[in-house]
Structure 1
Amino acid sequence: MAQTKKSVSEFIQDAFCPMIAVLCSYDAETICRKNNLTFAELIQPFCRLPSEVAYRDPSNNLIILKNLRLEIKDYNSLPPQNTLAKKLLNDAVFNVLTNGSINNEHEIDTEQYQLQIKNTTPWFDSWRDCFLRIAYNGDHEFLKNYLACIMVVSTSHLDPLDAFAKLVQQQIQQQQQIPAKLPKWFMTNIYKYFVLLHDVTEGEESKAISVFGDLKQQYGAGNCHLLQINSKRPGQTNNDINEGPNMPDPWRIYVKQSSLSIQQQSKKDNSLSDSLSNLTELIDQELNLNTSITHPLGSFDTSNNDLSSTTTTTIDEGYDGSSITSTSTIIHGACLTLSDHDRIHVFMNEFVTKGLLLWVETNLKTFNEQITSRRGLTKLFAMPKKFFGGNTSTIKNQPIISSTNLTNDSMEIVLRRTADLAFLFQHYELAYTNYYAAKRDLSRDQAPTFYAGVLEMCCLANFMQDSSASKAYPIQYMDEAIEIYAVVSRLPIFATRCVLMSTEILKSKEAYDQAVQQFLKLSQEDSDLRGALFLEQASHCFLNYRPPFIRKYAFYMVIAGHRYLKAGQRLHALRCYNDVLKIYGKPNWSLALDHINFTLGKQSALLHQTNDAMKSFNALFAPNNNIQNAQQQIIFFKEYLTIFNQLTSSNTVLPELPVPLIDNTTIKILLAGHQQPRMGGYVSNCNDFDF
C-alpha cells in the first residue's frame, strides 16, 4: 500500500468518533448567517480538543482521551442521494490529481529495474475520507447514531425558555415516531445540551445574563452555556478592533455546500464530459445490489428501475470532472474576532468535560449493571439444567438468536451498545470484552449482519488496545466479516469499510500479502471506481515485498488503469499506464508494450493531448516492432491517421510519419531479359502485358 499522512490509530479513531446533532431556532441561525455559516459549521473547526480529557469507567479506572474529535452535524442534515453521492466520490478522486503534481517518489533498485515510483496516493485518501463521511449508519450498530443533541436559541428570541422547550419536544417526537426515520439516536435518553447564543454587537448583555440564569435553574448548570459571538460589526475592519490584518479562516475546509446551491466550474476539457456523459447509467451499473436501506451507497438494485423515481436530488447528469464547490469566494467568520474563537474553544471544552463525559460515565455504569444482572440470572437458571439433566451440548450448539428477535432490550443489543459507547470514547479493552461476548451469543446463520458487525469491531478494538503490539491480529474475524457483508447480507458498503480498516492495520504489521488478498476481494465489477482504487493499492503492496514484485505491480496497475477508464477517470488511467511503461519496455514485451502505447495514444487523443498521443503511436511503428499481425497494424494505423489529421488542423509543422513514403514517379520495375523457349514453349513479349 502507498503511504498515508495519518497513522493507523488516528485513521480508525477519526473514522469512528462521537456524533453530535445540532438543533437551532431560526433566530440563532440568523445570527450565525452573518458569518456565512450555520451553527454546526461555526463550531466545526473546534471539534477536536487540543488537550487530554478523562473520565472513569464502571470499575472506577481513569480513562485518558487523547486527540478526541467530535463530529457535529445539523439536525436536519440528510445523507446525499445517489446521484450527488456518486459525483462526490468521483470528484474526490479527480480533483486531487488536477490540484497539483505529486512529487513524493522513492527509488526501487533491483538487478533488472531502476524505477522512480510515487509512494503516496492522495486520490485514494481523498476517496476514502469522502466514502467514510457519507456512508450511512446500519441498523446493526450504533457507531454513527447521535449521542447528544445541542439545542441553540439566541437571546434575541422573545421567549428563549419556551423556544428551548419546543426544541426538546421536537427532538422527542422525532425520536419516538414509528417507523423510525433519520436522524438515528444512540438510545432513548440521549444527552441534551442547551446553548444560549448572544450577539455582542446587537444584543443586551443584561438580558442574556438574566435568561441564562433561568436556563441553568431549569436544566442544570453543567448542561447550559452562554456563547457570545459577533464581536465585530459587518463592514468593520480588523484595525478598528485592534485585531491583526489577516484573520484566519478555519471554516473553509469544513463548509459543505448544499446540493441546491451547486455551481459547476467551467469545463476544464470538453472531452472529459464524454467519459461520464450519462451518470445515471453508470450508477445503475455500479450500484446493482438490493438492500432494504435507502441510501446512495446502499441502494443497490439489479433491475432496470428508473433512477429518477428513487432520487430527489436534482443534478446535472454530465460529469466533467469539475468540483462540486462554488467558484465564488465566500468569506467565513467576517464578524468573528480572535476572542470569539477563544469563546468557542471554551464552549466545546465545557460541553465535553462538564456534560458529555459525565453522561458517558453514567450510562456505561448503567449498561454494565444490566449486563451483570442478566448474566447472574442466566447462571441461576442454568444450574438446575446442570445438575438435573438436559443435553447441554445440543443446546449449546443450537442457534438461538435471530435478527428478527433482537430488540433494544436484548442482551446482544445491550452488549453491542455498551461496546460501541466504550469504543467511541477510547476504552478499547471494555469494548473488546463486550464485542467478544456479543459474538458468542450471536448466530451467523440467523443474525448474519449483527454477527459480522461484532466480528469487525472485535478486530478493531483488539488492535486499538495498548497491548495490541504483543497480540496477534485476528484476521480470520475480518475475513469472515467481509464475506458475510458482501455475500450473505449483500451490504458492500460495510464490506468496503472492513477492507479500508483492515488493510491499514495489515500495512502497519507489514502483512502485505494478506492486504493484497483483501483488496482483491472487493475489486469485482460491481463498482469500477472502487475496483480501480483497490487494484492500485494492491499493486503498491507488491512493491513492499522483499524483494519487490515489480512485474506483479505492473500487471495490477494495468488492470487498475483499465478500471479507471471504465469509471470515466481518464487522467488516472493515463497515470497508471505511464507508470508501468518503463517496466514493460525493459524486457521488450512487445505485445504488452503495444497495448499500453495504443491505450495511451488513444486516450491522450480523446483528452486533446495530441503530442503525447503522437509519441505513443510512433512507438507502435518503430522499425523493430513487427510482431503484430496485419489486421492489428491496420487498426493501429487508422487510429494514428485520425490523430494525425487532428494535428494538421492546429500545427503548421507536422511530425514525420513513421511509415514508408511511396513516390509513384520513382518506381521502377525490373524484368528479366529475353529468354529462349524451353522444349518448344513460347515466351511472349513483355509489351503484351498490361502493367
Structure 2
Amino acid sequence: MTSPGDAAPVRPPPSFSPGVPRVASKTRYPNQRRDSSPALDSDLVESRIASSPPQPPLSATAAELPIRSASPYARSVRSSTPQLTRSSLGSPTDGRFDGPDDIRSLIIRSFSPVVGVYASVDTDELVRQKGFQGGFWELIRPFGENVPGKIVVRDSVGASRGWEDFGVRFVDLGGHPETSESQNSLSQLEAALEKQLESPDNPLGGVLRPKDFLSFPTTSPLYKSFLRQLLSVETPTPHETFRHPVASVIVISSRNTSPLETLRRLYADTSSGDRRQPEWVHPEYLRYYVLVHDEDRDDITESTKLYDQMKRHFGLHCHLLRLRSNQCVVTDDDSCQIPESEWLSPSERLSGRSEPLVDLDTDGLPYLFESDVTAIKAFVRELVAQSVIPYMENRVTVWNDQVASRRRGISGRFMSMSRRWAGFGSGSRSSLIGSGGGISGNFDLNHGYYKPDVPEAVLRKMADFAFMLRDWKLSASTYELLRSDYANDKAWKYHAGVHEMCAVSMLLNPLAMPGKTKIDDINQMVETACYSYMTRCSDAPNALRSLTLAMELLKSRGGSGIESAAKWAMRAMDLGLVGSIGQALFSERISACYASRNPIHGVKWGSRHRKAGMWSVLAADLWLRLGNPSLASAALEEAERLYADIMDSNGLFPMPDMQTFVDNLRHSVRMSYFEARGLDIGEDTAPADPLETLETEETSEKLNKRNHRKSLINNPVETGGFNIGQEDDNPANDDFERA
C-alpha cells in the first residue's frame, strides 16, 4: 500500500513496482410466490402429464515478495477456461477451451476482483462533458470486465498460467449502493426478467423463432441474463470478501489547481473519512493514482511534470490517462461505441441507471473516440497486470506463510481443539459465550461478524483471493480449514459460505477427478450450505446462488454429477426460490442436464433423453401459462427432438395420453400466438408470420429422425384443451421413465 505523506516518498518494493523489470524465475514447477409450481419428482411429473442455487498491514520484506517472470510466453499457458466433458475426464488438462460466453467461464468471471473508483469533482465534470453522467466510474466500468490480452497469474506453488478472460469489477466509492432486503432482491430479479421479456426492443422480448433455440444444448440468452443478474451483487457482505475492494483508483484531472493536496484528501476520505468502508472491511488495500489529461484544452508538458511529481510522492502505482474532453458523436470518423456493461444488477435494470442520458439515435450506447478507447484499455491492463495481480499474489503468499501454515500444522490443530473444549488461550468456554463471543473469542455474536484482522477473517480473505486468482486447489483447502471454526463459533452465514465456496472450488479444479465419493462430499457441502442459508440465516438469494452454481458446475463435470445437478435445480424450484419465469428457465436447465447424459460406449441404455423431453414439455407448458408462445414453441420443438427415439415411423408416441397432451399443447401454443397478434386462424390458409415452417437443410439434419415434422404454430390439430383425465392402461408407459 502507498501512503501520501509529506516526508520521504514511500516507494513499493521492487517486485511490486510497475516500471521495474522482473527477474525471470529459473525454477520449474510441474420468495416470489409460485404462480404455477410444477411437480418436482419425476413420477409426479409423469402423473401430471397423464392427467393434465483483513488484510494486516503490509509487513513482507522484499525477500518475501513473489518474483514474477518477465517472459511468461516461455511457459506453457492456457488461453481460457477448459470445459470438462466426459471425454476429457481421463486427462482433465487436455479439455477443450471455451470462449467468454461459456457458462463455466461466466461463473468464474463473476467472482472477479473489485476495484473501487474515487474521482475528484473536476474529473467527473470532464467526463460528463463526454456524455457520461455517472462520471469517471461509468466511463471505465465496461472496460474492466474483460481485460484485453492475456493475463498471467501465478499460483501458490509458483506455476504460471495465462487467462484471456480475466477481468475486474469497478465499483463507485463515491456513493454506496442502497441496501435491499434479501427477499426483495429475488423479487427484483423476477421483475427484471419480466421487463426484459416484455421489452419490444430487446431480442429476448421480440418475436423468437423456434430455430433460434434448436442449437441444443446451447444455453438460452434469457437464462444467461438470469445467471448474470443473480451473480451481480452490489452490496458487500461481512461473511465473504468477494465484493470488498482489492484496490482503489484515486483520480484527478489536469484541470485541478492543487493536485497533490487533492490526492491526499481523496486518500484520507477512503482511509478514515466519509468514503471509508464498513468496519468489517479492512481499510488497508492497494491505492492506485491516476492523472487524467485533457487532450483538447491542456498542455501535455505540464501534465507530464505533474505526473512525475505524483510518482515521486506516491510511488510507482500511478498512471497518466490521456482523454479528449469533447463529446464524440456517431458522425466522427474515429468514433467507437463502448461495450455494454455485462454485470448489471436487477435494481440497475429496473431503475434504468444503466441507460445513457444522451440520445445519439443509436441503440442506446454512447460513443467514444478511438484514441480514448485505446488509452482506457491500456490503463486497465496496466492496472490489473502490473499492480492488482502482483498485490493479490503477494497477500496470498504472506497470509499462507504467516497464518494458514500455522493452522495446518500439528500445533495449530492442538490449539484449535484446546480453545474448543478447554478454552486455553482465550479464557474459559462459559465466559466467552456469556460475553457475546464465539468459542474462539473472535466472533462478535451481537454484530454478527469477525473483525477484519482476526485469523478467521484473514483466512477467509486469503481463500477468496486465491479463488479470484483461480488457484482453486489452495482456496478449497483453506475453505476446508475454516468449516469447523465457523461451526464452533456458530457463525452460520460464514459457515454456509465456506461450504458453498469449497464445493465450487472443488468443481472448478480441473485436476480434481469427479469420482462418486467426491461427488457425494460435494453434495453434502451444498446441502449444508443451502440448509444454513435458508433455515439459520433466512438468506434466500445466497441459497439460490449456491444451488445454481452447484447445478451448472456438476452438469459441466458430466458423469454421475448430472443426476445431482438436476436434483439441485429441482430443490431450488421446490423451495420457491425462483418465480414463474425462473420455474420455466430451471425446467429447461433440468432438461439440458438429462439431455447431456449420453449412452456409454454406444450402448442404448444409460441415456436420459426421455426425462429430458419430459422436462422440456413441462417448460413449454410453463411458458404458455406465462403468455409466451414463442418460447413454448421452442421448448416443444426440443422435446420432440429428444423423444424421436421412442416415436414410431409415423412420428407418434407409443403412449396415447402423452400424444394427446402434446397435441393439445401444440394447438394451444398456436392459438395463443395468433390471438396475441389479432390474427384469424383458417383451416385452409395459414397466415404468413415469422414462425412459418422451418424446413431447411440445417433443421432437417438436426431432426432427421422426424420425417413427418410440422410447424408447431402453423399446423392446426383437431383436439381440444388440456382436460386429459383418463387412466392410461398402455403397457408402453412402463418404459417412459426407464432409461
TM-score, normalised to structure 2's length?
0.62
- Give the letter aligned to residue 72 of structure 1: F
Give the match's secondary structure for 1:36: coil
- Give the letter aligned to residue 346 of structure 1: A
Q: Structure 1 residues 602, 91: closer, same or farther in 2, change over 3 A?
A: same
**Match for 1:541 among 590, 593, 617?**
593
In structure 1, what is the equivalent of residue 376 of structure 2?
344
1:214 aligns with 2:272: no
In structure 2, what is the equivalent of residue 532 of structure 1?
584
2-structure distance, mates of 1:198, 1:465: 44
1:364 aligns with 2:468: no
Give the match's secondary structure for 2:477: helix
Shift of 1:156: 0.7
Q: 1:391-430 to 2 correspondence within 5 Å?
A: 400=439, 404=445, 406-408=449-451, 409-430=453-474
Q: Which has the larger radius of gyration?
A: 1
Q: Structure 1 residues 197, 102: closer, same or farther in 2, change over 3 A?
A: farther
Percent identity for Structure 1 against Structure 2:
20
1-structure distance, mates of 2:154, 2:216: 48
**Match for 1:12 among 107, 112, 122?**
107
Contact persistence 2:179–2:235 (CA under 8 A)? no
Superposed CA offset, 1:174-200 (max 9, x none)? 6786xx76xx98522011111100011
In structure 2, what is the equivalent of residue 161 of structure 1?
260
Superposed CA offset, 1:492-512 (max 9, x none)? 211222233222222222232
Superposed CA offset, 1:634-654 (max 9, x none)? xxxxxxxxxxxxxxxxxxxxx
**Match for 1:496 among 531, 536, 544?**
544
Contact persistence 2:336–2:368 (CA under 8 A)? no
1:90 aligns with 2:194: yes
**Match for 2:484 among 428, 432, 440?**
440
1-structure distance, mates of 2:546, 2:345: 29
Q: 1:187-336 to 2 correspondence within 5 Å?
A: 187-220=282-315, 222-230=316-324, 245=333, 247-252=335-340, 328-329=361-362, 336=369
Give the match's secondary structure for 1:225: strand
Number of aligned residue pairs: give it. 544
Superposed CA offset, 1:583-606 (max 9, x none)? 696343265246525643663365
Give the match's secondary structure for 1:150: strand
In structure 2, what is the equivalent of residue 655 of structure 1?
none
Q: Structure 1 residues 160, 621: closer, same or farther in 2, change over 3 A?
A: same
2-structure distance, mates of 1:323, 1:519: 36
Contact persistence 2:131–2:357 (CA under 8 A)? no
2-structure distance, mates of 1:381, 1:551: 51
- Give the letter aligned to residue 596 of structure 1: L
Superposed CA offset, 1:129-160 (max 9, x none)? 22222465433111122211111111012212
2-structure distance, mates of 1:34, 1:517: 53
TM-score, normalised to structure 1's length?
0.66
Give the match's secondary structure for 2:384: helix
Task: Give the stretch that moved more between structures: 438-447 or 188-197.
Answer: 438-447
1:517 aligns with 2:550: no
Higher relative contact order (Cα pairs below 8 Å, separated by 6+ residues):
2
Contact persistence 1:601–1:612 (CA under 8 A)? no
In structure 2, what is the equivalent of residue 604 of structure 1?
673
Task: Give the stretch that moved more between structures: 66-75 or 601-610.
Answer: 601-610
Task: Give the stretch that moved more between structures: 503-512 or 563-572.
Answer: 563-572
Q: Structure 1 residues 325, 620: closer, same or farther in 2, change over 3 A?
A: farther
In structure 2, what is the equivalent of residue 272 of structure 1?
none
Q: 1:534-613 to 2 correspondence within 5 Å?
A: 534-545=586-597, 546=599, 548-564=607-623, 569=628, 571-573=630-632, 575-576=634-635, 580=639, 586-587=653-654, 588-589=656-657, 592-593=661-662, 595-596=664-665, 599-600=668-669, 603-604=672-673, 607-608=676-677, 610-611=679-680
1-structure distance, mates of 2:630, 2:593: 22
In structure 2, what is the equivalent of residue 70 of structure 1?
168
Q: Structure 1 residues 231, 354: closer, same or farther in 2, change over 3 A?
A: same
Q: Structure 1 residues 188, 537: closer, same or farther in 2, change over 3 A?
A: same
Give the match's secondary structure for 2:170: strand
Contact persistence 1:28–1:153 (CA under 8 A)? yes
Shift of 1:35: 3.3
Superposed CA offset, 1:535-588 (max 9, x none)? 121123233344554553343334334544566656434544565579696343
Superposed CA offset, 1:239-258 (max 9, x none)? xxxxxx46432334669799
2-structure distance, mates of 1:156, 1:521: 57
1:42 aligns with 2:109: no
Shift of 1:63: 4.2
2-structure distance, mates of 1:626, 1:497: 35
- Give the letter aligned to residue 224 of structure 1: C
